[in-house]
Structure 1
């Protein structure tokens, strides 16, 4: 078994037409932000474009939870973006989460007792990198932690399979885009809090 294996590979080219001025920040501190350049050419990092597509994928996937079931549905319910990256938070009290967690624990314990390496739960955790002795100690000698279940959910997350997360390598790749800049302008802008999507106080940038 191989986590998130690639069956087909598609390579395409997207053409963007700017309708409004575009700001490409180079990071750093201070009110004035320089234009991001590589070898003198303005560039949009591939990671920036991928982030836009990830956001779209999140909206689409979460709108489909009604048509999903089992681990995939629970993975989307637990999916959150934090400063540390993508995490799968505990949702104790949610009927779907609690039922899937019990199913996971019971199946994993049974597979370890019977050395059933083809069982989905055990095979997935071994592919992630957990050792059999480690799993045997955690599942048969103590309560199974939610962190273990979170890693398993990450491997079953539809968004993670496409875009990647802490467990899976993403299948969607974007190269840097180089621009032929005709003119630059200094304009005022504001800072936005990622978590709330609201204006950040006392932040004015140009």
Structure 2
């Protein structure tokens, strides 16, 4: 666990909920395909095909989900900025370990308490039984920086957007307002009107 920050437990919970919603969507699409085909073929495709279709879609999605988790992360993990890593060297967990982790999670969840096993770990890593068995850790995909003040946090954000040497962010000395001289005032000469005798 070199140089990585442990994932916040709430982020892990949200990632699981997002993944569950995506899985529900996949199963709903598979089911709607069967229902639509049954309606279009006047029952030639029986509604009893819903069960095997759902089972097949679940198995395929389980493999896809596992591959995503072992690599760059599942949909929920990416949305929450999380990554599964191998505890010893922080490399991607890989498909084999991710598969073992998921199988253990499902088995432990069958007794319900397994779903809550991360709560039994008093460390900041909150490793559940499935994590411990496969030497996995859930980390932040981008390590958090230790900052001490709002000003330094703002400086970090600015430095992420553009390098400090960027001309767009270089300090610019204020230029003085141009000095304009007022136009000379013309004082009209008094007009003398000579009145002649009439």
Structure with the higher fraction of residues in helix conformation: 2
**Rg (Cα) greater in structure:** 2
What TM-score bracket applies, with the shorter chain setting the length?
Answer: under 0.3
From the two aligned structures, give the one with the greater strand fraction.
Answer: 1
The normalised TM-score by structure 2 is 0.25
